[in-house]
Structure 1
C-alpha cells in the first residue's frame, strides 16, 4: 500500500501530464482522421477509412513521403555514417579529439554543441542567408572565378540535399556529446592492457572503443531517425516546400499546410496518424536491431 501511495503521489501527476500532452492529442487526431473535419464547413461527418483510402492514391502524399524518407535516410546516414562513417566518423572523430581534460577542450565542446541548442528557425535563417543565390557562399564563389555557382536552394535537383546538409550540421553536435559520454565511460584500464599486449591505436579502437560505444550508436541512430522524420521548421523557413511543386516538402510540413492552411483537418490528421505509425514501426525495428548488436558486442 505504501508503494501504491508513493506511486499515486509522484507518478499520477506525471501520467496525467503525459496523457494531456501526448495521449489525448493522439486520440483526437485519430478521431479527426476518420471524419471530414473542416472548421469552415460544418458539420463534421464520419467518413471512416475514406481519408486513408485517399492517401493511397494521392500523388502529393507519396511525394512528401519520399522526400521525408530521403531526408531521414540521408541525415541518419550522413549523421550515422557522417555518424558511422562521417558524425559517426565526424561526430565520433570530434568526440575522440575532445576526449581530453582542460578548459580549452571544455570550451570546444560548447562550440560544437551550440547548433543543437539553437532553434531550427534560427539555424534556418542563418543558412538561408548563406545559401541563397546572392548569399555569402555564392558571392564568395563568384569572387574566386565561379561564374555560375549552384542554386543551393533554388535548384530543384539539389535543394533537398542542401536541406539535408543543414539538418546534419545542426545535429552533429548532439552526436558528439553522446559519443563523448560513451567514450568517457570506457575504463582506461582496458586501453592500457591492450597497449601492453601490443595493440596499436586502430586495433584498440576496433576491438575496445567501437564495441563499447554500441549503446551510444543506438541512441544517436534512433534519435536522428525520429528527429529527421518530423522535420518542419527548416522546410518552412528555408524553402517553404519549394522550389517548384513540393520539391522539399516533408510529411510534417504537409500536415501543417493541409490542416491549417487548407483547413482539411480530417485529411491532415490521417497523414499525421500514418506518420506516427511509420515512425513507431521503423524506430522500434531499428532499436531492436541495434540493441541486438549491443548484446553481441
Structure 2
C-alpha cells in the first residue's frame, strides 16, 4: 500500500493535465472538422442521396428511384464518351507534365540568376486563372490565330485545325492543361533534386558511373516521393478538368469531341436541370478518382520503399 499511494497521487496529477490537453485539442480541432464536414462531407452525402432520386426542378415531385440513374449511365453514350475523353486527358497530362517537368528541373537544377528567372517563368502559368490561360491559348490556336498565321507564312497551305478538328482538339486541350500545371511539377522536382546529397553523386562518379547511370541509380530512387506527389496531383487535375473545356471548346467541336465528366455533370445539372442524374455522374467520378488515386498511391509508395 505504501508503494501504491505515490502512483495514485501521480495519476491524480496527470488526469487534469490530460483533460487540459484534450480540451485544447478539441478547441483547435472542432472548428476545422466542422468546416470540413460542412463543405466536404455534407455535399458528398447530399450528392449520393440525390443520385438515388429523379430530382428535377422543372419536373416535381422528387421520387426515390434507387440505382436507376446508375444503370442508365452504363448505356449513356454521352457519358461514356466523356469518360473516354477524361481518361485520355488524364493519361496525357500525367505522363506529359511529369516527363517534361523532370527534364526541365534537371536543366534548372544548378543555381544562377538565369536559372532563377527561368524558374519564375515556368511557374507563372500555375498562378494564373484557368480562364485566363484558356482565353490566351484559344487566341493562339484558333484557325486564324497566331500559330496558324505563322505556319501560313512558313508555307503551310492548310494549317491544322487545332481546336476545330475533332481528331486534334482533345490533344490540343491536353497540351494546354499540361502547360499550365508544368510549373508545379518543376518546383516539386527541383526541391527533390536539391535534397539529394552531393556525396552520393560524387561516390557514383568515383565508381565510374556516367550521367545516365547516376540518374538511374542515384537520382531516380531519391526523387521517388516527388514522383508520387506529382502523379497523384496530376491524376486529380486530369479528372476534374472543366474550365478549359468550357472556355475553349464548349465540349466540341462536333458532338462532344472534348467533353469531360466534369463538363457533362455541369451541363446535365444546370442546362438540363437533371440534378439527380448529374449527381449519379458526380458520384461515379468521385469513386473513380478515389479508387484510381488510392491504387496508384499504394503502388508508388511501395516503389519509394523498394527504392
- The answer to whether TM tops 0.5 is yes
- 2:19 matches 1:6: no
Deviation at 1:200, TM superposition (A): 2.2
- Answer yes or no: is 1:27 the counterpart of 2:45: yes
TM-score by length of 2: 0.92
The residue correspondences of 1:1-297 to structure 2 (distance < 5 A) are: 1-79=19-97, 83=98, 88=99, 90-297=100-307
In 2, Cα distance between the equivalents of 1:160 and 1:95? 27
The worse-fitting range, judged by mean Cα deviation, of 245-254 and 90-99 is 90-99
Q: Identify which range, 187-196 or 257-266, moves more after superposition.
A: 187-196
Deviations 1:182-219 (A, max 9, x none): 01111112112222333222221111111111111111
More deviation, 275-284/42-51: 42-51
Question: Following the alignment from structure 2 to structure 1, what is the Cα–Cα distance between the partners of residues 139 and 80?
Answer: 30
**Secondary structure of 1:242's match?**
coil
How far off its partner does 1:10 sit? Answer: 1.1
CA distance in 2, matches of 1:247, 1:4: 55
CA positional deviation for 1:134: 0.4
**In structure 2, what is the Cα distance between the partners aligned to 1:145 and 1:196?**
52
SS of equivalent to 2:102 = helix
Shift of 1:91: 1.2
How far has the Cα of 1:42 moved from its partner?
A: 2.2
3-state secondary structure, aligned to 2:25: helix
Counterpart-to-counterpart distance in 2, 1:185 and 1:78: 24
Q: After superposing the two structures, state which structure 1 stretch, 67-76 or 196-205, moved more.
A: 196-205
Structure 1 residues 14-44: Cα deviation after superposition (integer angstroms, max 9, x where no partner): 1111111111111111111111111222221
Q: Distance in 2 between matches of 1:286 and 1:68?
A: 17
| Structure 1 Cα separation of the partners of residues 125 and 152 of structure 2 | 28
Q: Distance in 2 between matches of 1:279 and 1:136?
A: 36
Q: Aligned to 2:59, what secondary structure does the other structure show?
A: coil
- In 2, the alpha carbon distance for the partners of 1:50 and 1:7 equals 44
**Aligned-pair CA distance for 1:93:** 1.9
Deviation of the 1:102 alpha carbon: 3.2
For residue 13 of structure 2, what is the aligned residue in structure 1? none
User: What's the secondary structure of 2:65's corresponding residue?
Assistant: coil
Structure with max Cα Rg: 2
Alpha-carbon RMSD: 1.1
SS in 1 for 2:250: coil
Query: Secondary structure at the residue paired with 1:204?
Result: helix
Number of aligned positions between the proteins: 289
CA shift, 1:288, in A, is 0.6
Deviation per CA, 1:144-179: give whole Å up to 9, x if none.
111111111001111111111111111111110110
- What's the TM-score, normalizing by structure 1? 0.95
1:97 offset after TM fit, Å?
Answer: 1.8
> How far is the alpha carbon of 1:279 from its aligned partner?
0.5
**1:44 partner SS:** coil
Q: Unpaired runs of 5+ in structure 1? A: none
Q: Which runs of 5+ in 2 are unaligned?
A: 1-18
Paired with 2:264 and 2:143, the residues of 1 have a C-alpha distance of 26
